[in-house]
A and B are shown apart, each in its own frame.
Chain A
């Protein structure tokens, strides 16, 4: 099935560092979403983006909807141990459509 390209695949960083990850698609989306998944749990929505060029923050998290509508970026500032997990981007053609998920970025934070 179709999946979006996410990079990097994994990151190993020290507590306090900033993190950046991105997601690209060959298709244009109307909505971009970022999720975090902890082991043994379902994905939890972090940020939703609805307009090209939109920049949205949620605490230490900031995400942007790319101007071409084919990409999105997620930044985490001042990482903490509880940021550990797998981060997924997801694209949506319209708000009644299925989600198309990325391949995931696994984040490890060391004290």
Chain B
């Protein structure tokens, strides 16, 4: 049974650019949630995808968007990158929307310069 895999592991982008982060959910999991973790902070909920549709969103602007594919993998897209977007982006998968079954990936470290 494979866990949650995220790619890339590290990324450096310039302010104003766009970025796409990818997540493959754990086998048997059909729900994906994305979190942003700034340095020295706890993770902050961005949004959740279930059955290819957004199923809840945190306090993030519309330039943060996502997709879920039929195989339950997911993408997080961020447009018009700002310096404050520099963070560790974590993907978590679960079965249905029951979050107590969360499995987190190792994250993508995004640096915006």
Q: Footprint of A on B, CB under 8 Å?
A: 4, 33, 35, 40-45, 48, 56, 58-59, 90, 92, 97-100, 102, 104-107
The docked-state distance in angstroms from the alpha carbon of A104 to that of B43 is 10
Secondary structure call for the B interface: loop
Contact (Cβ within 8 A) A1 B58:
yes
Contact (Cβ within 8 A) B100 A1:
no
Could you tell me how many residues of chain A have their Cβ less than 8 Å away from some Cβ of chain B? 25
The docked-state distance in angstroms from the alpha carbon of A103 to that of B107 is 18
By a CB distance below 8 angstroms, the chain A residues around B40 are: 104
Q: A92-B99, A95-B99, A96-B99 are in contact. List 8 more A-B contacts (CB 8 A).
A: A4-B42, A40-B106, A42-B107, A43-B90, A95-B98, A98-B33, A99-B99, A101-B44
By a CB distance below 8 angstroms, the chain B residues around A101 are: 42-44
Contact (Cβ within 8 A) B102 A45:
yes
The docked-state distance in angstroms from the alpha carbon of A44 to that of B100 is 12
> Counting CB contacts under 8 A, is A29 at the interface?
no
By a CB distance below 8 angstroms, the chain A residues around B58 are: 1, 98
Closest 9 CB pairs of A and B: A42-B104, A101-B42, A98-B45, A96-B97, A1-B44, A101-B43, A95-B98, A43-B104, A42-B90
By a CB distance below 8 angstroms, the chain B residues around A41 are: 106-107
